[in-house]
Amino acid sequence: MNTSAKIIDGKVIATRIKDRIQQQVKKMDKKPGLAAILVGDDKASAQYVKLKKKACEYTGINFHRYSFEGDCGQQEIIEAIKFLNEDPDVDGILVQLPLPAKYNEDKIITAIDPKKDVD
């Protein structure tokens, strides 16, 4: 019985996947677009969005960042989502969670067209 573990390098695998996506995007007539919505000033959330932007830049996917202050109205965020739902340049929408406590996450997330919800 062979009980030795195989060590995998996650960074190498991730790079291979991103390279494959990059090649697929290069062949497309219209580049896909990802919109990320960031609400408030959570540092971890901002870092996550920054990494998504970097991955999009690497692969050739258009990246659109929408930032809102933590004290903006919930309806303002929902209106932005409605706009993005209709925007032909946006193929995927990501609302970075967690949202500040004052917002109803379910209401905001359900405003995303299911065809564009990347989570």
Which of 18, 43, 52, 54 does the annotation list as catalytic? 52
Q: Is 96 tagged catalytic?
A: yes
Q: Is 22 tagged catalytic?
A: no
Q: Is 30 tagged catalytic?
A: no
Which of 23, 47, 96, 115 does the annotation list as catalytic? 96
Which of 19, 41, 89, 119 does the annotation list as catalytic? 119
Q: Which residues of 10-45 are buried (b: 16+ CB within 10 A; e: fewer)?
A: eeeeeeeeeeebeeebeeeeeebbbbbbbbbebeeb
Residues known to be catalytic: 52, 96, 119
